Structure formats: C-alpha cells, structure tokens
Amino acid sequence: MTQIIELDGALGEGGGQILRTSLSLSLITGRPFRLRNIRAGRPRPGLRPQHLTSVQAAAAIGQATVRGACVDSIDITFEPGKVVPGKYHFPIGTAGATSLVLHTIYLPLALAGGGPSELTLEGGTHVSTSPCFDFLKTTWLPYTELCGLHIDLRLHRRGFYPRGGGLIQATIQPCPRLHGLQLTERSPLRTASCISAVASLPDHIAKRQAERARQRLENSDLHLAMHQETWPGGPGTLLGVTLDAAPVPAFFFGLGERGKSAERVADEAVDQALAFLDAAPAAVDAHSADQLVLPLALAETPSAFSVAEITPHLTTNVEVIRRFLEREIVVEGDEGQTGWVRIL
C-alpha cells in the first residue's frame, strides 16, 4: 500500500490552497494524504462549503475514499482511485468560489486521458479573495494554453457574495503532456482597459468607480480605455483593469460589498495594477504565479519565470507540491519582493 502523506494545514499561509493542491496531486499521483488543521491560518478554520465541494468533486472524479468530509471539519483523509473523465455537476450551494473548485480538478481530468470532461459549477463567480471569472478568462486561460491545456470556459450567470447563484461551464480536453515555460520578462506595457460594472445597483456607482480608476491611471503613460456595463443578477460591482502584457494579459480587479465605497473598489484594482507596473520587467503577476507553478511542476521540461511579487501563497504551494512530487523547485527572492521561480 502506498504510504500516506501527512500534511499540516498550518503550513505557510495556512489557507485552502493547501487542500486544493493536495487533492489535485493526490488524484494525479495516486498517493493518499491526511490533512490536519485545515485552514488553520483563517479566522474560521475548517472546511467551508466551497472547500467541501472541492473535496466532493475530487472524490467524484477520482472514485476516492474520504473520511472527515463535512463542513467545519479540520481533519480529512483522502485515498484516490482512478480519475474518470465525463460530465459532472457540482453545486456549492452558497456564494463559494466556483473558480477554486475548478482549480482543484481541471488538471487531474486533463491528464487522465480517455476523452474530454464537461463541468457545470454553481456558486460564486465574483467573490473576494478568489479568482473571479474575468480573471480566469483574461489571464488564467491563456496561461493554461501556453502549458498545453485546452479548456473552454463559459459564464452563464454571475454570482456575487453573499447571494451566489452563478453558473459556469468548463470543457476540458485531454492533455497528453504539459509544456514547460520560460517567461523571463514581459514586453513594455502600452495600453490598459478598465471595465466598471454594476449588477442590480445604481449606475452612478459604476461611474464613480470608473472616474476613480481614470484619475489614478491617467498619469501612468498608458493609453487608457474605459468601459461601463450593467449586468444582470447581483447585487454586486466590479472594477477590472487589464494590462496588455505579453505573452499573457494581466487582469486585476476589485469587488464591491456592503459598506465599501465605489472609490475603494477601484483603488483595490488600481493598486494591484500599479504594483505590477512598478515590478517591471517581471513577467508573471503575483496572483498567477502560485496557480502556474502546479502545471509547470508536472511538465516534462524545465521552467523558469520571473514574478512581480513572491507571496505566501506561492511559497506555500511550492512546499505542498514538494511533498507529492520529486521535482526540484527553487524560489529566488524574498516574500513581498520581485523574484524568480525555477522548476528544474
């Protein structure tokens, strides 16, 4: 019997990413794991509905045996079986992030072979502290394409916190092999586009968000395009900034919530965009780095990329990957600073 991997959820930044990466790699490698102190670094530790859905989704696609899979659980054991591509529907039941469920299972399904998979995910599509759908479409999908993955991603309903109700569908094609990447520096940035959107809220909120973003970005030497939209669903708001970085555009966003001003929503997105500009010529934005390191660790060829900021999410994810894979991963630089990731 394969020896079980013991993991501590208090590792590094102590969030749900430890669980998601462990589930994904357990399915890919066939190695069981036990995770204690789940989300120990969060104000409310243990499995929340979106994390439980990730566990249930991983168990469903991989015919796994799971112990401890319930809301608020701080200890689970996961024994994987064979990953079976197919059609799956996973409703979170709350505004929990659909993007994080997708991140848990897309690689095992892609690498399993045997045909495409169709996923229907219901829950939050625009939720704080998780990748929103616009980020997935603008930045995450192009990175997956560079790695050799082919995923079609469609938004059918937007779901904001706390109501949820969003729905996305993903079609994941089988991937015979993943490609390593060499992303040393990005091209000079010349244009930026901003989208300010509201859903079931007054239009003046979108105007205030857009005006704040325009004021802060107009001195950045970028050609700036502004767009305002009104979306169905909600209530919710978004201010998104897309920078025309090559080979992949970088998307940064802020989301509204009760008691949060339109100006603060815009500031959240613009602060991130300006930090990325200041980190030139680093190629990969801070949010993409920890997501990119997992498929690259599974690629046959070496990879190296410069990153705008080394975050606890990145270093924690690297530590979890090392527990499952015999792959040398080197992170060069200090947390909070620009740096490099090399996968040898």
Q: Which residue in 51, 126, 287, 313 is the catalytic one?
A: 313
Show which of 278, 304, 333 is a domain's final residue.
278
Q: Which of 49, 208, 74, 64 shows the shortest CA–CA distance to 130?
A: 49
First to last CA, the chain: 29
Q: Are residue 225 and residue 300 in the same domain, yes or no?
A: no
Q: Are residue 259 and residue 301 in the same domain, yes or no?
A: no
Instruction: Tell me how many degrees the CA angle 133-153-272 measures, rounded to the nearest 5.
Output: 30
Q: In what order do the strands lie in the sheet with 182-183?
A: 182-183, 303-307, 339-343, 329-332
CB 83 within 8 A of CB 39: no
Say what the pLDDT of residue 1 is. 59
Q: What is the pLDDT along the chain (344 residues), one digit of tens a residue?
A: 579 999 999 999 999 999 999 999 999 999 999 999 999 989 999 999 999 999 999 999 999 999 999 999 999 999 999 999 999 999 999 999 999 999 999 999 999 989 999 999 999 999 998 999 999 999 999 999 999 999 999 999 999 999 999 999 999 999 999 999 999 999 889 899 999 999 999 999 999 999 999 999 998 889 999 999 999 989 999 999 999 999 999 999 999 999 999 999 999 999 999 999 999 999 999 999 999 999 999 999 999 999 999 999 999 999 999 999 999 999 999 999 999 999 99
Q: Give every CB contact of residue 284 below 8 A, 6+ residues apart in sequence.
A: 183, 292, 305, 306, 307, 308
171 domain-assigned? no
110 domain-assigned? no
Q: Are residue 218 and residue 295 in the same domain, yes or no?
A: no
In the structure encoding, which two tokens stand for residue 316, read together?
């924690």
Show which of 17, 51, 84 is a domain's final residue.
84
**Full domain range(s) for residue 325:** 288-344
Say what the pLDDT of residue 187 is. 86
Domain count, the chain: 3
27 domain-assigned? yes
Show which of 238, 259, 278 is a domain's final residue.
278
Segment 282-306, tens digit of pLDDT: 999 999 999 999 999 999 999 999 9
313 a catalytic residue? yes
Q: Are residue 262 and residue 210 in the same domain, yes or no?
A: yes
15 domain-assigned? yes
317 domain-assigned? yes
CB 321 within 8 A of CB 297: yes
What is the Cα–Cα distance from 251 to 134, expressed in whole angstroms?
Answer: 8
247 domain-assigned? yes
pTM of the model: 0.96
Q: Are residue 272 and residue 310 in the same domain, yes or no?
A: no
